[in-house]
Every structure is written in C-alpha cells, then in structure tokens.
Chains A and B, each alone.
Chain A
C-alpha cells in the first residue's frame, strides 16, 4: 500500500529525518513512536505531501503515485496535530467544502456527509460553528474531513493530544473501528495508544529508526533474548539440567519453590529460537507435569526506552514492517 524509501530531510547541516525506509500493507495500522523532537511530525508532513523530502521517496505501491500528485492526495486523509479548521464555518458547510475540494462527486456528497457525521458521531453539531465547539468535537470534525473522501491512507498526527480521558477513549474507538479497512499511520508518544490501536510500530529517535516491526514480534524480542516463565512439578535438579540442555536455551534459573514439588523457572533463549516444542517433547517423555508456561515479555515502555537510549540499535531486531 505505502512504500517509503530512504526518506531524508535536511535542515541545513542537520538531518531531521535520516534515511527512513519502510513499507506498509493495506489495512494495517502503523504507530510512529518517538520522544518530542524525534522527527515524527516531519515524517508525517512528508507522508502527507505538505513538506518536500530532501532525498528519498514516498509512494503508493499500486498506483506509484507520490505526494504532491493529485492521485495520491485523492487517496489521502490527513489530520494534523490540533486539527486546524476554519473556525468561522459551520461543521456542515466546512465538510461540504472539503468534500468538493477533494473531488467527491456531487451526487455522493450529501450521502458522504451523512456517513462521516455518523462515523465520527458529530450529527448533533452539524449546524454549529466550528469555533464554538469543544476540543474533542473539533478533533472529531478534523477526523471527519480526513474521512470524507473514503481515503485508502489515513495519516493522523498526535490525534488524541490534549483531549480529556473520555474524549480520548471515544477517539481511539473511532480509529480502532477503521482497522482492516484503511491503512493508518498514527504519530504519537502515548504508548498505550500504540499498544491498543497499532499492528506495527516504528520507534524514531533523532530522525532515525531505532526499532521497527510488528508490535508482538518486537515485544517478544529483547536484547538479552526471549524469556519464558515455567512452573513444573518434578525433581528440581534434573529439571534444571534438562531445561539447560534444550536447543536454543541460553540460561535457566530457579525462580521460586512453590511447595509440593512445584518449581518455577525463568528460561532465556536466543532471539529467533523457540524452545517450547522441545520442552513439550521433554516433558512427555519424563513424566514431569507442566503447570504453567508463558512468554515473559518486555512491555512497550521498556522497548521504547531501550530503543531511544540506543540499546536496541542491533540490526538483528529490526524487521521490515
């Protein structure tokens, strides 16, 4: 759906964005994470075609259309940070204006207007002047203008910044309802938002990709390897030795003894290795009882902090999205 190749933006000698490359499949949601000043908004603006890159290119894979081309812009829905809208206009007249400018056919205009008003839950304020709406409603009107042309690609820059928790919840539900239908690029520094809405994540630090991939895949990986938590009923020493002998396992430590011959272990394996199949084979032949097995994942916050502080610079953990 979207391919970004070596996207770079120079500001004099400073590189605001440095050779960013990724591709995104149709219907997926990408979270662009990064600390303030990391270059997220610059990337978003280049994807939206309102800022020219110094080098590299952005294109829609089907049509080969690039930003600045009407063909690209007609498939785009864009909501910049703080939803800049014409405050003197009413919601209805503003959305009609956007629909006309985006080339929505006249016969589909009213139907499209009703659709986005319902989708963004703003039917009740259609006749009201935008400048008199609350921030939450203005943000929803901003989303409605992005959706009025049924865009294949939706780009949202910090869409929930400054909203209260209830407005944030409503807004996230709106975005979640689009999953699978539209390709969404979402810039934010709110980690739970990425966790709940996005299938993929790119962590940006100082204009460069610090980590990228499917969220679940990234969380399973850790610089110190994949970790598993196990509880087994069996002879501790023998179990320890057997676990340490499994293919891909780098270390096993006794976590705690829970009584009645039950022991908990923390097992670490190489990234890319999955010792669980061998474990089940081992247990089947030994007569020991597996009471619990779970992947002991790092959370997104740890991943983010590790990535921006440079501990995840190892290219082994970077996967194409």
Chain B
C-alpha cells in the first residue's frame, strides 16, 4: 500500500508538473462551456417560441434540451481527450528508460498499473468536477429533474475509468506517445460506434454489437437509469484492461 501511495503521488505530481493536464483540462472545460451555452441559447429560443405556440410547451424541458446534450458532448470529449492523458503513462516511461528502473524496485506489476491509472483517473475526475458547475447553474436558474444528473455523472465516472484503463493499456505497447493516443482513441471510438452499426445488422450479431458498445451502455445513465448490466459492463472493461496491462508488463516487457 505504501508503494502504491508513493507511485500514485508521483504520477499525480507528474501530471500537474507538465502542461498536458492543464491543456487537456482547460480545453475540455472550455468546450463543455461552449456546448452548454449553445444549449442554453437553444432552450431560451424554444422557451420564447413556446410563449407563442402552446404545442411547443411540452417539449421545453431543461433535462431534454440542456442536460442530455451536455452529457452527450462531455462523453464525446472524454473519448477524444482521455487518450491524450493516458498516452504518456507507459510510453513515456519506456522511451526514457525509467520503466526499467521502476521494475527493479520492490513494487508489484499490479501496483504500477493501478497507481498510474488511478492518477490519470483523478485528473479526469477533476475535469468532470469542473463540468458540475453547469448543472449547478441550471439548478439555480430552473428546476430540472436531479435524478438523471446524478446517474449521468455516475455513468461518466464509469466511462472515464474504463477509457483510462484502455488508454493506459495501449500506452504499454509503444514508446511513441502519438501512436499510443491514436490507437487508444481508435479502439475507444470503435467501441462507442458499434451501436450505430448494430442498427444495420439484424439478429444476434446486431445484439452482440450493441452489447459491446459503450454508447448503448451509457445511454441509460443519461436517461436517469442505473442498470447493474451497464455497471458490470464498464467494470469489466476496467478489470480486463488492467489485467491485460499487468500481463503485458509481466510477459511482454519483463519476459521479452
């Protein structure tokens, strides 16, 4: 536990010593703010229109028009930006040779993987915490349903954990950070978009594609539903990716 704590602190320290975390978090929050303001503008426009057209009043719902687009946008930005945070976790250590030294210390492979992923996860959580200002503002100005806000954040936390684990795994395969970022982004995007393809594939294969898709499992959280099936899906990705990472260190790096 002591070694985990020392590793975790160093990783966190490394994130905030480099401009990467500040840049990624800054861009993330800026884009979230932009999309939030666009949703607010659209909501205001529809509210004004609803004053003249009673049939529109049923559609003027802050959860539907502001929060769901906001969470959808946050999800896409996480998919885009998390690989930029995870790309350095192992690729940088491999390139600088520091992983060689780290492996000679009395620290287990699983502690190394978990400490690195936990630090990266905390950085993402800081970003997600920053986005909480937007729903908080909405709560102050209107009366949205709070349930979907909490479930959506729960889903985002699970999504962040799973994508961080996947990104970190891909960082283990290369010394090149760009390659690590692009390959993890590609895989995460593919897993996200499987739901789109599933619509065109009939029968069991289509169901399997939908079940494998991140998007399918995240949607219910955004709607205010927490299903154990979805939670287990994300936890499976975390456990499987971390297990693979440990095996890659054990057999791929130490055994090479």
Contacts and interface: CB of A to CB of B under 8 A. Distances in A.
B103 A50 contact: yes
A103 B104 contact: no
A100 B2 contact: yes
A85 B98 contact: yes
- Chain B contact residues: over half helix, strand or loop, or mixed? helix
A49 B104 contact: yes
B239 interface: no
Interface string B95-108: 01110110111110
Given A50-B254, A98-B105, A102-B105, A84 B7 contact: no
Contacts of A320: none
Interface in B191-234: none
Contact of A97 (B6, B106, B254): B6
Contact of B104 (A48, A82, A89): A48
B131 to A, nearest CB: 28
Interface residues of B, number: 24
Interface in B1-16: 2-3, 5-7, 9-10, 13-14
B106 A101 contact: yes
Contacts of A181: none
Interface stretch (A72-80, A202-210, A241-249): A72-80
A87 interface: yes
A73 B106 contact: yes
Contacts, number: 65
A263 to B, nearest CB: 59
A193 B175 CA distance: 33
B100 A84 contact: yes
B98 A97 contact: no
Question: Interface size bucket, A side?
Answer: 20 to 34
A97 to B, nearest CB: 5
A97 B17 contact: no
B104 A88 contact: no
Interface string A19-49: 0000000000000000000000000010011
**Which 9 pairs from chain A and chain B are nearest by CB?**
A84-B97, A73-B106, A100-B6, A70-B106, A78-B104, A50-B103, A88-B17, A84-B98, A52-B255
Interface of A: 45, 48-52, 68, 70, 73-74, 76, 78, 80, 82, 84-89, 93, 97-98, 100-103, 145
Interface of B: 2-3, 5-7, 9-10, 13-14, 17-18, 96-98, 100-101, 103-107, 254-256
